[in-house]
Amino acid sequence: MKLPSQFYKPLAVGAPDPLREVPVRLERMIHFIPPHIEKIRSKVPDLISQVDVLLGNLEDAIPADAKDAARSGFIELARGNDFGDTGLWTRINCLNSPWALDDITQIVAEAGNKLDVIMLPKVEGPWDIHYLDQLLAQLEAAHGVTRPILIHAILETAQGVKNVEDIASASPRMHGISLGPADLAASRGMKTTRVGGGHPFYGVLSDRGADGDGFGRTLFQQDLWHYTVAKMVDACASNAIKAFYGPFGDFSDSPACEAQFRNAFLQGCVGAWSLHPSQVDIAKRVFSPDVEEVKFALRILEAMPDGTGAVMLDGKMQDDATWKQAKVIVDLARLVAAKDPDLAGAYGL
Ligand code: GLV
Ligand code: MG
């Protein structure tokens, strides 16, 4: 185990100092685009103003014969646009694939100073993070990258879930973790064919009625991802990094997408992936705090200026713990307000 005194030292001479804290940024949606498609690249200037994070996807969903074009398309769009306060990320191919090394070396060499975060798929344990951490430090030093590129892991194998706490604490480069429900379902042997969301057969049956006939009873659908999201949120929160819901594959079912994102938001996630333009608005709606909640949270902070003691508001007890909850909501609302003037007005901020 590495000594605490070594944890924040650069891993290569000339690499930038690791960050001590994940930068405070609004990241309600990580918007995926396939960078090998010219028409999509031409939309990037518009997308930059609409999304919080833009991600060039190089991994699954990019055909094997388009992997090189996706990588060079990503480098072209990274170099050719100004991203302002919108995050620029890429999802590279997994470490045991034939493409990962070229993804990492070419992108850091040619766009290292534009890139905020590398999303690493199929992370099995801290060893995957250590490998990428060391390689990034060497490449940053070699190519004069001045800000450390952060790592975001996808939690999408049974072994990764088992090791999630060690993954979250593996390096000061860790930005956060996303749930990858499609690969995770396959890895676990779950009997589904969906990308995220619920399943009609996964539920709890209401009790048998007095007649005991067993018919006409309701199956209350349960959230298949509750356990994993909770485990991921605890691993992230205890290491001061961010948790995200991943993809929701049924673009025709916006209410189900919204419900799934909202469960993740309430459990502690800060954002989700958007794979389709319609999901950008869903994520904005879900991962921006509710106006009435913000107003009530502001009243709590106002009623307890130093955050201690107990007061009653609308018949509800408030104390140090609800003050902290209120602060989480108000801090997020301030970040949203800085980007969204309409919500700033609605929140009264
Ligand atoms: C995402 O990559 C997933 O497998 O769900
Ligand atoms: Mg996956």
pLDDT in tens, 15-46: 999 999 999 999 999 999 999 999 999 999 99
End-to-end CA distance of the chain: 46
Tell me which residue of 198, 176, 183 sits closest to 269, measured CA to CA: 176
The pLDDT value given to residue 214: 61
On the question of pLDDT at 111 being above 80, the answer is: yes
The pLDDT value given to residue 213: 57
Enumerate the domain spans of the chain. 4-287, 293-347
- Which one of 3.40.190.10, 3.40.50.300, 1.10.3720.10, 3.20.20.60 gives the CATH number of domain 4-287? 3.20.20.60
**Atom 1, ligand 1: which residue's CA is nearest?**
180
The alpha carbon of 68 and the centre of ligand 1 are apart by a number of angstroms equal to 21
On the question of pLDDT at 65 being above 90, the answer is: yes
Q: For residues 295 and 345, is the Cβ–Cβ distance under 8 A?
A: no
Rounded Cα–Cα distance for residues 221 and 201 (Å): 7
Span 288-333, pLDDT tens digits: 999 999 999 999 999 999 999 999 999 999 999 999 999 999 999 9
Span 127-152, pLDDT tens digits: 999 999 999 999 999 999 999 999 99
- Ligand 1 pocket: which of 154, 179, 187, 274 to mutate (most atoms within 8 A of CB): 154
Beta-strand ranges (E) seen in 193-330 are: 203-205, 219-221, 242-244, 272-274, 311-313, 316-318
Rounded Cα–Cα distance for residues 76 and 70 (Å): 10
Residue 17 DSSP one-character state: P
The pLDDT value given to residue 15: 98
- Inter-residue long-range contacts of 35-39, CB under 8 Å, 24+ positions, other chains counted: 35/70, 35/71, 35/73, 35/74, 35/76, 35/77, 36/62, 36/66, 36/69, 36/70, 36/73, 37/73, 38/73
Mean pLDDT rounded to a whole number for the chain: 96
- Ligand 1 pocket: which of 195, 232, 250 to mutate (most atoms within 8 A of CB): 195
On the question of pLDDT at 101 being above 70, the answer is: yes
